[in-house]
């Protein structure tokens, strides 16, 4: 868990160095490609873990949302995430796991899950 959050935070720091050189659309694509993809990897395994374990990942997601949503450092990220397509990491984990279970139940999941 710690390695995933450290790797994503490292990418976020590197991306911060070039943020002014590229536009907002490129910044959003970089965040999605390098940071949020690392947070999404094997996220079904995170369901049911204590909040203290998921908190470092939530902090990285919040930090990644700031340049995409063009938020200042002192502005709270949570209301902006609720208004945008993003959401809290715990709710996202639960919804993805529910979707996966629905696909398994209806027989539309990949063969290795059925």
H or E element: which one contains 101?
helix 89-106
Please give the full DSSP string across 81-99, using - where no structure is assigned.
HHHSS---HHHHHHHHHHH
pLDDT in tens, 61-112: 888 888 777 787 778 887 777 666 555 666 776 777 788 888 888 999 888 8
Cβ neighbours around 4 below 10 Å, total? 17
pTM, to two decimals: 0.63
Q: What are the structural domain ranges in the chain? A: 2-106
């Amino acid at each position: 868990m710690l390695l995933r959050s450290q790797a994503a935070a490292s990418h976020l720091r590197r991306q911060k160095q070039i943020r002014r050189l590229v536009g907002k659309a490129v910044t959003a694509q970089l965040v999605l490609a390098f940071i949020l993809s690392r947070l999404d990897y094997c996220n079904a395994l995170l369901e049911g873990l204590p909040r203290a374990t998921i908190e470092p990942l939530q902090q990285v997601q919040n930090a990644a949302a700031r340049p995409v949503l063009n938020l200042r450092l002192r502005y709270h990220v949570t209301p902006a995430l609720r208004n945008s397509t993003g959401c809290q990491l715990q709710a996202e984990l639960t919804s993805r796991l529910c979707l996966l279970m629905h696909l398994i139940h209806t027989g539309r999941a990949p063969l290795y899950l059925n």
